[in-house]
Amino acid sequence: MKCKSILSIFFLVALSQLFAVETNPDRIKYGYYEDSKNGFSIDIPKEWVVLPNQTASLVMAAPQDRSTTKFRPSLNIIVDRITHKATLNELFDINVKNAGAVLHQFRIVEITDVKVDDVPAQRMVYTCKIFRNGMYLDVKNIVYCLVKDNIFYIITCSALDEQYDKYYSLFMRLIGSVSIFYPTGKIGSSY
């Protein structure tokens, strides 16, 4: 568990590129992404790209833009089978602890109980600093953790702190489009 949590945090924070031009969720055209093997689907902005990744089931990022070369807003979904009895609160607490242990100047902004696709979830907004190209960047993240059918889902949205408000509505639109269903494939286990 600790390994996938740390890898997901590092990967998300390590995504560095650029910003999308359009962030108004009402003016963006969407496609549909379904991962039946891992049991989820989500709308994806047509201009965003799905990036190959070894640790996440899905990583999508905003297109490149000349306005910055610092960091690329993104959303990733990690899926992991739970092999022992654990509650959502316990798994969430482990993720918070892991994030605090590996992220530079990790600071929790808020933690709330929410639902994703009518499944109880815990949401954490946090900030941290990442080192990129000889300088520290302030990054703000929203993480949703949920459990359904003994499968742990971690959905993370990330943007530079200075751009977070610009992307917030889009991130909420994407989270609102998530559908969780019974997976058809074998899911690895860290928990």
pLDDT tens for each residue of 65-124 = 655 457 889 999 999 988 888 899 999 999 999 999 999 999 999 999 999 999 999 999
Q: What confidence score (pLDDT) does residue 2 get?
A: 54
The pLDDT value given to residue 103? 94
Q: Residue 4 carries which side chain, given as an amino acid letter?
A: K
Q: How confident is the model at residue 134 (pLDDT cuts 50, 70, 90)?
A: confident
Residue 127 has pLDDT above 90, yes or no: yes
User: pLDDT tens digits, residue range 21-62?
Assistant: 466 667 778 899 999 999 999 999 988 989 888 788 999 998
The pLDDT score that the predictor gives to residue 133 is: 78
On whether the CB atoms of residues 77 and 40 are closer than 8 A, the answer is yes
Q: Which residue has the higher pLDDT, 13 or 25?
A: 25
Residue pair 80/4 in contact by the 8 Å Cβ criterion: yes
pTM: 0.83
Q: What is the pLDDT of residue 95?
A: 92
User: How many angstroms separate the Cα of 171 from the Cα of each of 60, 144, 176?
Assistant: 12, 11, 9
pLDDT of 181 strictly over 60: yes
Q: Bridge partners of 153?
A: 79, 146
Long-range contacts of 172-177 (CB under 8 A, 24+ apart): 172/25, 173/25, 173/43, 174/42, 174/43, 174/44, 174/45, 174/75, 175/116, 175/142, 175/144, 177/30, 177/41, 177/42, 177/43
Strands (E), the chain: 30-35, 40-45, 49-50, 58-61, 74-81, 104-116, 119-132, 135-148, 151-160, 179-180
Q: Topology of domain 2-180, per CATH?
A: Protein Transport Mog1p; Chain A (3.40.1000)
**What is the model's pLDDT at position 132?**
82
Q: Band of the pLDDT at 10, cuts 50, 70, 90?
A: very low
CB 43 within 8 A of CB 92: no
Question: What value does the mean pLDDT take over residues 10-19?
Answer: 38
* pLDDT of 5: 52
